[in-house]
Amino acid sequence: MSSLNDQLNSFRSKVRNAPTVAKPVISDAAAARKRAASSLVAKANPSLNDDKSDLSDTSPAKKQKRSIVNYAQAANSGIGNHQSTQLVHAVEYIKRHDQPVKWKDIERYLSFPIEPLLKLMRNIDRIKIDDENQTASYVSEYNIYSADDLLSFLRAQKTFQGIQVKKLKDGWNGCLDAIDKLEKSEDIVVLRMKKENGPKYIWANTGGTIGGIDPAFTELWKKVKVPTASELPGLLEKAGLKPASVDPATVKKTNTPEKDRKQKKPRRGKITNTHLRGVLKDYSSI
């Protein structure tokens, strides 16, 4: 134990007696020269001083201001700079017009050159590019853009399948107004949805007034004689029907003879061990 204490004391004495490195002492004259040099550099380059002050300021407001200045972008107009994004906005802009749109108008709307987009729009079936007039138009499935064209198209149909309004509305902004107009004039028959009350299918009205009944049907209805209450049960029984006034428990059921069921033949057991017939003894005769 004493040897351990002796070692600890000797180590402490070595640490106390170890040489120390003297710190450099800067004289007042050297410090003055250093400050003068830094002031000259600051006067020659004022931007360095501003950058230094910006870096030294670590307040949240200063950080937010610096980040906004460094990463500031153009005002968000909803239109990106990528060609695919520009193509989507261009097609939507063309769809909103029921007539051909000039290329200049598309460029003005997108703030983007139209030349790289024309190559992409030529691959879209619904977009029609007119190089002579420098226009682009959206072609709907039925190519209908007026109420008269719609009525002519419906009357030319050979079947009464009807037209889905969802397909008709694609590329024709005035579709719903035209349908309401033709419905009021009773030129078309409209099937509407229950909740939104929007048109779903439409047909051409090839008959008379909607909601009316042809006089021929009313005459046929008048000629039909309705039996009296006393005659009705007998007529129903003749037709093989049960009157509602008759208790079903009192109706006699005719016993239909059941068909003779086929008797199942007894199933014979399968004989096994046929190779031992001469070896085993037969006990069936005993």
For the segment 219-269, what is each residue's pLDDT rounded down to a tens digit? 999 998 888 888 888 888 888 887 776 666 665 555 555 556 677 777 776
pLDDT of residue 80: 45
Please, which residues have CB within 8 angstroms of residue 208's CB and are 6 or more apart in sequence? 214
pLDDT of residue 71: 34
Whether the Cβ atoms of residue 202 and residue 154 lie closer than 8 Å to each other: yes
Integer angstrom CA distances of residue 279 from 105, 272, 275, 283: 109, 14, 9, 13
SS3 content of the chain, % helix, strand, coil (to 5): 45, 10, 45
pLDDT of residue 235: 87
3-class state of residue 135 by DSSP: strand
Torsion angles phi and psi, residue 154, rounded to 5: -70, -40
Please, which residues have CB within 8 angstroms of residue 273's CB and are 6 or more apart in sequence? 280
Kindly state the tokens that stand for 59: 């307040």
Q: What is the pTM assigned to this prediction?
A: 0.43
pLDDT of residue 75: 40
Burial annotation 248-266 (CB, 10 A radius, 16+ → b, else e): eeeeeeeeeeeeeeeeeee
Whether the Cβ atoms of residue 116 and residue 83 lie closer than 8 Å to each other: yes
Kindly state the tokens that stand for 206: 């090839």
d(CA 144, CA 159): 19
d(CA 231, CA 200): 47
Complete domains list, the chain, with CATH: 34-65 (no CATH), 83-138 (1.10.10), 147-204 (1.10.10)
Low-confidence ranges of the chain (pLDDT < 50): 40-41, 43-44, 47-48, 51-56, 62-63, 65-80
